[in-house]
Amino acid sequence: MRPGLNNLVEYTKAARFEKAGDKERLGAQSISEAERVNLAVTIGGIRMANPVTTGSGTFGFGPEYAPYVDLKRLGAITVKGTTLEPRLGNPVPRIVETPAGMLNAIGLQNPGVEAFVQDHLPYLREIGTPVIVNIAGNTVEEYAAVAGRLSEVGGVAGLEVNISCPNVKQGGIQFGTDPVMAAEVIGAVRASTQLPVIAKLSPNVTDIVAMAEGVAQAGADALSLINTLLGMAIDVQTRKPVLANIMGGLSGPAIKPVAVRMVWQVAQAVDLPIIGMGGIATPEDALEFILAGATGVAVGTANFVNPRATVEVIEGITTYCVKNGIKDINHLIGWAWKR
């Protein structure tokens, strides 16, 4: 070893310790206080130990982040969008970085529901954390079929229905931008499953409240909002769109203000629990959504930046509750307009 290396190793350990979760920083007394804070929430019948889940498509099927995060600690795991048949997805480039955000056009690459059930679900079941499966389709029937299949297999806590897909029967208009079509999808899914149904809304609409009301009437048990904002980027050197797919979905911290606004609007108008997402990277971000009216929160793009973002959010929420004398996280839901 080089001279002085021991010191450096110590230094590195110290630096890592500094980065340790807030829980560690709270000190012994507060740790017991932290343990007394109730973080458990229920979303459409899904009981979660804490409000934090993952953004579909940003956390794979779980094992990808297992080296960085104890998956047992998450409130739920929401996995990549699953369709009836396998999908190849789009050509590359599939992503491009934008100011405080990114665009993606993955094109729903996924192995199809059967391969999901055989190859991925067993691993997820083992963890014990509630598994929310994000589902998608190009026809109402496809949605219903995936939902039906996932209801039979056991180990799925709920379905998150991604309605931001093009309806191939109706010329490719997105289900998620028309309240009637959205309600149709949710209604069909509702009819084919006993599992909790979470409707995941697209933010690319004039009236998010109308969308939420539509899917609520169609039988959704909960809402996820928001999905990505439709955007694009052009390469000034090639003078062509950067993404092979031309347009993509904008996510990351950049979109947080839009997401918080939509949660705020919907929470006041519709009596369903909401999983808030869009740019959550820190405990404060998550708290913004909860104060706006979200019962749960999902960490999406931030996982790419900080693979421990999910647990750091959980720890930070706990610290906030201890410091502010909040005994139950449920008290904070909607505080910004309720009190």
Ligand X SMILES: Cc1cc2nc3c(=O)[nH]c(=O)nc-3n(C[C@H](O)[C@H](O)[C@H](O)COP(=O)(O)O)c2cc1C
Count of other CB atoms within 10 angstroms of residue 54:
27
Which residues of this protein are in contact with ligand X, per CB under 6 A? 55-58, 80-81, 104, 106, 108, 134, 162, 200, 227-228, 251-252, 255, 277-280, 300-302
Which residues of this protein are in contact with a second copy, per CB under 8 A? 98-101, 103, 177-178, 204-207, 229-234, 236, 239-241, 246-248, 250, 252-258, 260-261, 264, 279, 284, 287-288, 291-292, 320, 332, 335-336, 339
CB of 143 to another protein, least distance (A): 20
Q: How many CA atoms lie within 13 A of 279 on its CB side?
A: 21
Query: According to the binding rule CB under 8 A, does residue 101 interact with another protein?
Result: yes
Give which of a second copy, ligand X, another protein, none residue 134 binds (C-beta under 5 to 8 Å, depending on kind): ligand X
Nearest CB to ligand X, comparing residues 39 and 302: 302
Residue 269 is encoded by which pair of tokens? 């108008």
Helix, strand counts (H, E) of the chain? 13, 16
Query: According to the binding rule CB under 8 A, does residue 65 interact with another protein?
Result: yes
Distances (CA, A) of 317 to 101, 131, 241, 281, 295: 23, 22, 40, 12, 13
Q: Which of residues 28, 88, 180, 236 is near another protein by CB under 8 A?
A: 88
Query: According to the binding rule CB under 8 A, does residue 112 interact with another protein?
Result: yes
Evaluate whether 227 touches 182 at the Cβ level (below 8 Å): no
CB of 327 to a second copy, least distance (A): 16
Closest CA to 84 of 152, 141, 169, 123: 141
Among the listed residues 96, 150, 165, 220, the single catalytic one is 165
Count of other CB atoms within 10 angstroms of residue 172:
10
Residue bearing tokens 């890592």: 16
Query: According to the binding rule CB under 8 A, does residue 20 interact with another protein?
Result: no
Residue type, 34: A
Query: According to the binding rule CB under 8 A, does residue 91 interact with another protein?
Result: yes
**Stretch 234-253 residues interacting with another protein (CB under 8 A):** 244, 252-253
Give which of a second copy, ligand X, another protein, none residue 257 binds (C-beta under 5 to 8 Å, depending on kind): a second copy
| Residues contacting residue 265 through CB under 8 Å, at least 6 positions apart | 208, 209
Nearest CB to a second copy, comparing residues 14 and 305: 305
Evaluate whether 146 touches 113 at the Cβ level (below 8 Å): yes
Instruction: Specify burial of residue 33 (Cβ count, 10 A radius: 0-12, 13-18, 19+).
Output: middle
CB of 67 to another protein, least distance (A): 4
Nearest CB to a second copy, comparing residues 34 and 326: 326
CB of 125 to a second copy, least distance (A): 36
Please indicate whether residue 321 is annotated as part of the active site.
Answer: no
Query: According to the binding rule CB under 8 A, does residue 301 interact with another protein?
Result: yes
Evaluate whether 73 touches 48 at the Cβ level (below 8 Å): no
Evaluate whether 260 touches 26 at the Cβ level (below 8 Å): no
DSSP 8-state symbol, 72: G
Evaluate whether 298 touches 76 at the Cβ level (below 8 Å): no
List active site positions: 165
Interface residues with another protein (CB under 8 A)? Answer: 1-2, 5, 8-9, 11-12, 15-16, 18-19, 57-61, 64-65, 67-68, 80, 86-102, 104, 106, 109-112, 115, 119-120, 244, 252-254, 281, 301, 303-308
